[in-house]
Amino acid sequence: MLEALNEFPQGQHEASSYGQQLSVFTAKAPRLLWFDRATNTQVLEDFPDAIDLKTTLLASAVQRSEKQHSLAKDAQLGHSIGVALGAWLRSFLSWTSERGPARSSLRQAIAGNEPMRKLKHQITYDALVRVVSQFPGALGDRLPVLEEVQAAAAAEFDKKPPADGAEEDDSWGIIHGDFWSGNILLPSDDKLKPDASTAQQLFVVDWEFAQYGHRAYDIGQLIGDLIERDHFRGAKASLDVLAGFVSSYFPSGADDSFAFRVAIHTGVQLIGCFIRRAPRGPLPGTPEQVEQAIQLGTDFIVKGWTKDRAWLEKSVLAPLFK
């Protein structure tokens, strides 16, 4: 995947090309400079003084008497980060779905990453009913819907890419597979420039989960992760990033059927907060916060599966339905 990304035409996914939205950031994957398979040694393009977006968002939620974090005092800066990420992801998914032998060969190769595909299934949809069943208030009478979602996902995780030249659903292709704020690097707070004259760089890293899958998986994972940062830590800047990301990825608005799929995966991502930790590790928040997250995630799944657009338009996922 890293070798293929060296051929990804950097700079052709400027955010301004999507809905004429401008961003002071541009995103890319780091270049692979050298790889020795025998010793499992990689040399990647350096990104000095970088910090991951998760840490940046959490820092923005901390009240500091002496200094307010850049993202906390400038909502447009968070929005601009989201715009750059949406433009990049849209361009990446489009590029990997191009017809022709080169991209078809890449899809077949990445589809062979079965261990990570199985792991992603295991920690997302396969755990869905098991986790929600531990929260009777969230489960209610919705077990049949959750079981339908779980069964549909199990079939999808067995889906293979078609041979080159065959028709392919444009919702499917190579995905990053672990697209969340911890895998996005940006300049540290003292280096962020809201009014930079030249674009500042964002790096998308950690590609071992790259796999063949539904595009809603990457989109829903990032959206769910951003909601999680706000829910558990009060990182309001996460919602600025979310709005920018959605408006840039869907410059003309999302197709309803695709938006419902994103809502479902967003819910699955939120519910996963309960198991994305060591078996005896601490919960991501208070028991009340965790229960609320499970309830909200279950709501997203059920409303997405039943196509309840009216409910979703009034939720934090409203940007998807504009």
- Residue 196 is predicted with a pLDDT of 64
252 burial type by CB count under 10 A (0-12 exposed, 13-18 middle, 19+ buried) = exposed
pLDDT score at 18: 43
- Report the alpha-carbon distance of residue 54 to residue 229 in Å, rounded: 8
What pLDDT does residue 83 have?
94
What is the distance between the alpha carbons of residues 275 and 97, in angstroms, rounded to a whole number?
Answer: 32
Judged by phi (left if over 0) then psi (alpha if -120 to 50, else beta), residue 206 lies in: left
DSSP string covering 4-42: HHTTS-TTTT-GGGTTT---SEEEEPPPEEEEETTTTEE
Give the model confidence (pLDDT) of 106-150 as tens digits: 999 999 999 999 999 999 999 999 999 999 999 999 999 999 999
Domains and CATH numbers, the chain: 2-321 (3.90.1200)
Query: How confident is the model at residue 70, as a pLDDT?
Result: 84
Cα-based torsion angle of the residue sequence 29, 184, 291, 216 in order, rounded to the nearest 10 degrees: -30
Does residue 170 carry a pLDDT above 90?
Answer: no
pLDDT one-digit tens code per residue, 227-275: 999 999 999 999 999 999 999 999 988 999 999 999 999 999 999 999 9
| Alpha-carbon gap, residue 182 to 110, rounded angstroms | 22
d(CA 233, CA 263): 22
